[in-house]
Amino acid sequence: MIQSLPIRFQEKIRSQADCWEWTAYRKRSGYGVVKVGGSPQLAHRVVYELLVGRIPDGLTLDHLCRNRACVNPAHLEPVTARENTMRGVGPTAVNASKVVCIRGHTLDGLYRRTGYRYCKTCLAKSNKSNRALTRQEKRRWQGK
């Protein structure tokens, strides 16, 4: 299947095991880059579109092999951005898969504010404690 690619792409791919490793320029993130029509494009997307076809609108390519430099279309699957993120091992995927908070409360009830997730049970306890402290402070300042 590699032979059906233009020669300029074939020269930039090294076949290792099942992966087709992009050997030319790569971004710091590990994704291969190639210029097409004068503008830089992600190599795995270009190879996928040449050998498989157009990537459906609203979808992104997920590297099933977890090798960002791989351009083998058999290792690429069009998925939503959310699904791609959730399949990963980054902090977003790790936190989304948690079912209990650090204190062991189930995360059935989550409170989201300013980009953070809070356990409703912990938040309620914290708010109750803060209100009690505030009352104590008021009493102390009033001399009671």
| Domain count across the chain | 2
Q: Read off the pLDDT of residues 78-136 as tens digits, 9 standing for 90 and up.
A: 999 999 999 988 888 887 788 888 888 887 766 666 667 778 888 888 888 878 777 77
Does one domain contain both 46 and 63? yes
Does one domain contain both 2 and 53? yes
Q: Read off the pLDDT of residues 11-45 as tens digits, 9 standing for 90 and up.
A: 899 988 799 999 999 999 999 999 988 999 999 99
**Contact indicator for 78, 57 with CB cutoff of 8 Å:** no
53: pLDDT confidence band, cut at 50, 70 and 90? very high
Domain span including residue 123? 98-144
| Alpha helices, H only, 1-144 | 7-10, 43-51, 81-87, 91-96, 120-142
Does one domain contain both 53 and 119? no
Does one domain contain both 121 and 72? no
Instruction: Give the domain-ending residue among 45, 70, 89.
Output: 89
Does one domain contain both 115 and 73? no
Give the tokens for residue 138: 């008021």
Higher pLDDT, 105 or 50: 50
Q: Residue 73: its pLDDT value, please?
A: 95
Q: Taking the CA atoms of the chain, what radius of gyration do you get in angstroms? A: 25
Does one domain contain both 82 and 103? no
Instruction: Give the domain-ending residue among 42, 63, 89.
Output: 89
- DSSP-derived letter for residue 79 is E
pLDDT of 8 strictly over 80: yes
Does one domain contain both 77 and 135? no
Q: For the whole model, what pTM was predicted?
A: 0.70
